[in-house]
Structure 1
């Protein structure tokens, strides 16, 4: 099983990237980050639609084993153990790729939300999109450790 993170925006070196890379190195699942960006100044609705096109285009084609998760403030709030359970279920079903999609500042376009197998919130608060990448990676690492029975997670 591999993890694909599709994210709007590009980052440079800094603490949020360091956090992401720290957890990427800890994970045994291979993680690929695909960044997309629309450089044209578009009205918000058009920008969301365009970013949705770019994110969906970053997904692997012809992969019946793909699970798509849209990170969205209106999505489900799962605890770490429930999140690990979902990942374990997908792993056990033989899913090849779990793709997590992180939208831009305006959120996801409707095409991403409609394509998602799961809409997932990281709580009720609003988070900077670059920080969300690191937070997601930590939760993926935590899920890996929960599934392995490792004491990293203390419930």
Structure 2
């Protein structure tokens, strides 16, 4: 199952980018034998303004047809890492070919796009910078693959 991270804004070179790339490489290596991955970044940027609605249109174009849409939003469901790994495995095991995680910009995700999501996830009640949310998602993807592989990375 291919994984897509569809996000508003372009991440520049720096420590966040290095962490993101590192976790995505780890996920690809660990997930390959499990039928997970590769993971691809789809960055969209609306330089013309238009707010969350304009950004939602750009994000919509980045979503693969038929993908499970997962919106990251502070109002979303809280999952443990093992629960998240089981969710990924469930989509994979039911033949879903793509899962797309949607990360909005500073103003979040347009309600219409958020409502289209099959699942809305939260990384907690606090609001996180959208660039850091990418890193946190990539780490959780790697952790999920490690859990499914029976590797010792996750200790609960």
Say yes or no: does 1:7 pair with 2:7: yes
Query: By how many angstroms is 1:41 displaced?
Result: 3.5
1:98-117 correspondence runs (5 A)? 98-117=99-118
TM-score by length of 2: 0.91
Task: Say which SS state the counterpart of residue 95 (structure 1) adopts.
Answer: coil
Question: Paired residues, what number?
Answer: 148
Task: Say which SS state the counterpart of residue 27 (structure 1) adopts.
Answer: helix
Q: 1:50 aligns with which of 33, 50, 54?
A: 54
Deviation per CA, 1:86-122: give whole Å up to 9, x if none.
0010111111111000001011101211110100001
Aligned residue in 1 for 2:78: 77
CA distance in 2, matches of 1:37, 1:111: 19
Q: 1:32 aligns with which of 40, 47, 65?
A: 40
Deviation per CA, 1:103-149: give whole Å up to 9, x if none.
01011101211110100001111111111111100000000011111
Task: Say which SS state the counterpart of residue 41 (structure 2) adopts.
Answer: strand
Q: Is the 8 A contact 1:6 1:35 kept in 2?
A: yes
* Structure 1 residues not aligned, in runs of 5+: none
Deviation per CA, 1:43-70: give whole Å up to 9, x if none.
xxxx111111111111123x3xx21100
Q: Is the 8 A contact 1:7 1:101 kept in 2?
A: yes
* Structure 2 residues not aligned, in runs of 5+: 29-36
Query: By how many angstroms is 1:85 displaced?
Result: 0.8
CA RMSD of superposed structures (Å): 1.0
Aligned residue in 2 for 1:23: 23
**Runs of 4 or more consecutive aligned structure 1 residues displaced over 2 Å after TM superposition:** none
TM-score by length of 1: 0.92
Aligned residue in 2 for 1:133: 134
